[in-house]
Amino acid sequence: MTRYNIFGALVLSAIGAAALAHNGATGVVMERMMGMSAMRDAMRDIAPMMQGQADYDEMAVQAAAAVLQQHAGKTMTQLFPEEAIPAASYARPEIWSNWERFSALADELNLYAEALAMAAPNGLVPQTAMTGAMNSMDHGNMPMQSAPKRFSVAELMGVEPLKDAAPAIASPAADETQAVGIDFKMMAADDVFEKVGQTCASCHSAFRKGK
Amino acid sequence: MRGLIRAALASAGLGMVAIAVIARWPIAESRDLPAPDGDAYRGAYLARSAGCVACHTNTAAGGAALAGGKALTTPFGSFVPPNITADPVHGIGDMTFAEFAAALRQGVRPDGKAYYPAFPYEFYADFSDQDIADLWAAIRTVPSIAEPAPAHDVRFPFNMRWGLKLWRAAYMKPADISPVLGKSDAWIRGQELVRGAAHCAACHTGRNIFGGLKDSEALAGSDSLPEGETAPSIRPEALKTNGWTVANLTYALKTSVMPNGDVFGGSMAEVVQTGTAFLDEGDREAIATYLLDPPEATRTASGAGASKNSAAVELAGDPVAETNEN
């Protein structure tokens, strides 16, 4: 094998590996997968801090929030042009039949990413002595702790929407922080981080196929 | 008896006589069941943990609570979780307490026929009379809806309910939840949730062609979920390989965020959003504690005497133990 060929083979296998990592996708599908993966890595980097398993680092949270903002909202939706879904893609056709909800979720992610940047200086909610309360011996079908009830009967039964949930963002208003009536500057970073995760999950459960 | 019934199920040669006999075979243990006083909060908490609210409410279509759920599409056909509000005609308002208990714990209808296992009653077999009374009380706090949910669309022969009695006899495995010496309270509570109410195995354990759960593959993953979805293994070795710890699994059951930074998708995202996110932190931690350290029996089919390490090796070679690595 000539030197040139070896080099060529190396380049090809490097491209191959990158493509395989995204199921062999190309073009716009490849682009959106790379955007999603960048967000995944940003989430992975700060998740342990948000769980209180690693020291809180405001700069790292800011960096992750910037990555999320870079890939959310319009940047995300424009990578989903309506087209026949290639085999390499995990996108569901409902994206285009329910575009309004899909793009609302992409915007919501953008909003929470901005919110995460705003809340980053606040750090985490002080941790309460949670697990110490796990002392129920009777092993009935009841919560372990005798902590205050988090949800009402009506919330648990699905009769009333959750009080602590942010209202659905119908249209991203001019002043987004006002639109949802929540002052993110006052929120703990881990609370906002949870909202980010829930937004990713809401979109995935409706619009991303499983493996 | 089980083997015999399974053989009968497998061979298609059931005569009409047999059908007539089976159709009359009483399966519910009839007993007088006085209704204890129910506690609506306990019942509502249980209805959340057990998925009753999630399955019987069509949230995506803006349906009223418990008035009927989104159809579950399976290889056997499509099952619509019915209206279980207290409406006497279209809901379950005319069931007696004993009938309600038989439905939940035994999968038996008031008319003596069996329910389809799309209703995961196998996992509710261990509910106490008090649990059932609590559920009953909680359901009664929900406004009645006087409209039926759409009918099932189940293909032959699965649309023959008498066949379900055979199914029940052959495959129904009431949740086996028993205290294990030397385990913490959290672990015991976790076992109860995972193997009972929270019915993780309904999706994470493989099923045979009749839809019966495969014992030997407990929590080892399944590719026979509604809509053709796949659920990965959640045995301890597989979980550990994917970077799960008690802390980050507890967290994921609230937020859907996985250790690699991706989030749950598909029905698992729904399990979290409509179920485990409502649990108390202690209960989520209990589930994680149990899953990362279950009893020997669920580790491997053959691994009774195997050390943790050899069990891990066995699982590593098992394709179902391999999970989403992007």
Rounded to a whole number of angstroms, the distance from the CA of A83 to the nearest CA of chain B is 22
Rounded Cα distance, B216 and B206, in Å: 9
Determine, yes or no, domain membership for B308. Answer: no
pLDDT band at A209 (very low <50, low <70, confident <90, very high): confident
User: What domain count does chain B have?
Assistant: 1
pLDDT > 70: percent of chain B: 71
| A67 near B CB under 8 A | no
Q: Nearest CB to B265: which of A137, A198, A205?
A: A205
Give, in degrees to the nearest 5, the angle at Cα B7 between B6 and B12: 105
Interface of B with A in 17-36 (CB under 8 A): none
Q: Between chains, do A157 and B281 touch, taking CB under 8 Å as contact?
A: no
SS3 B300: coil
**Which tens digits make up the pLDDT trace of B130-164?**
999 999 999 999 999 999 888 888 777 666 666 66
Of A50, A156, A209, the CB nearest to B44: A156
Q: Is residue B240 within 8 Å of residue A176, measured between CB atoms? A: no
Segments of A104-206 assigned E as strands = none
pLDDT of residue B310: 31
In sequence order, the 6+-apart residues with CB closer than 8 A to the CB of A109 are: A68, A72, A73, A76, A196, A199, A200, A203
A28-75 pLDDT, tens digit per residue, is: 999 999 999 999 999 999 999 999 999 999 999 999 999 999 999 999
Q: Answer with the residue of higher pLDDT: B212 or A170.
A: B212
Judge whether B319 lies within some domain: no
**B15 located within any domain:** no
Residue that wins the pLDDT comparison between B182 and B58 = B58
Chains A, B: CB pairs < 8 Å: 174
Q: Which of A41, A153, A197 sits opposite B256 (nearest CB)?
A: A197
Does B70 touch chain A if contact means CB atoms closer than 8 Å? no
Taking contacts as CB-CB distances below 8 angstroms, the residues of chain A near B233 are none
Domains defined for chain A, CATH in brackets: 3-129+151-207 (1.20.120.10)
Supply A149's token pair: 């009830």
Interface of B with A in 72-111 (CB under 8 A): none
Q: Could you tell me which chain B residue has the CA closest to the CA of A131?
A: B282
Residue B307 predicted with pLDDT over 90: no
Range A127-139 average pLDDT: 41
| CB spacing of A153 vs B42 below 8 angstroms | no
Test the B interface: residue of A67, A89, A146, A157 with most B CBs within 10 Å: A157
User: Residue B164: inside a domain, yes or no?
Assistant: yes
Per the domain annotation, does B105 fall within a domain? yes
**Predicted local distance difference test score (pLDDT) of residue B159:** 66
Question: Is ipTM > 0.90 here?
Answer: no
> Hey, what's the torsion of the CAs at B123, B215, B206, B69, to 10 degrees?
-10
Q: Is residue B4 part of a domain?
A: no
Q: What is the pTM (predicted TM-score) of this model? A: 0.82
When pLDDT is averaged across residues A182-196 and rounded to a whole number, the result is: 88
Among A156, A158, A210, select the one facing B229 at the smallest CB separation.
Answer: A210
Strands B77-79 and B72-74: antiparallel
Percent of chain B with pLDDT over 90: 47
Contacts of A144 in chain B (CB under 8 A): 185-186, 189, 280, 282-283, 285-286
Name every chain A residue with its beta carbon within 8 A of the beta carbon of B259. 44, 47
Q: Name the closest residue on chain A to residue B143, using Cα atoms.
A: A159
- For residue A77, the model assigns a pLDDT of 97
| Chain A residues 83-142 with a CB less than 8 Å from chain B | 130-131, 133-137, 139-142
What is the model's pLDDT at position B78? 86
Residue B315 lies inside a defined structural domain of this protein: no
What is the token pair recorded at B298?
A: 């669920």
CB contact under 8 A, B65 and A158: yes
pLDDT at B253: 97
For residue B208, the enclosing domain spans 30-291
The chain-wide mean pLDDT, for chain B, equals: 79
Strand, coil or helix: what is B221?
A: strand
Q: Is B303 a domain residue? A: no
- Most B CBs within 10 Å: which of A155, A205, A207, A209, as the mutation test of the B interface? A205
Give the separation between CA B56 and CA B82, rounded to whole angstroms. Answer: 6
Q: Confidence class of residue B303 from pLDDT cuts 50, 70 and 90?
A: very low
| Nearest CB neighbour to A156, from listed B186, B230, B278 | B278
Percent of chain A with pLDDT over 90: 56
Q: If phi over 0 gives left and psi between -120 and 50 gives alpha, with beta otherwise, what is residue B182?
A: left
Nearest to A171 by CA among A74, A104, A112, A115: A104
**At residue B281, does pLDDT exceed 70?**
yes
Chain A residues with CB inside 8 Å of B194's CB?
A: none
Choose the closest CB to A144 out of B186, B245, B269: B186
Please name the residue of chain A whose CA is at the shortest distance from the CA of residue B188: A139
Question: What is the torsional sign of CA A102, A107, A110, A116?
Answer: negative
Q: Tell me the mean pLDDT in the region B223-240.
A: 86
Residues of chain B positioned with their CB less than 8 A from the CB of A159: 65, 141-143
Number of H helices, E strands in chain A: 9, 0
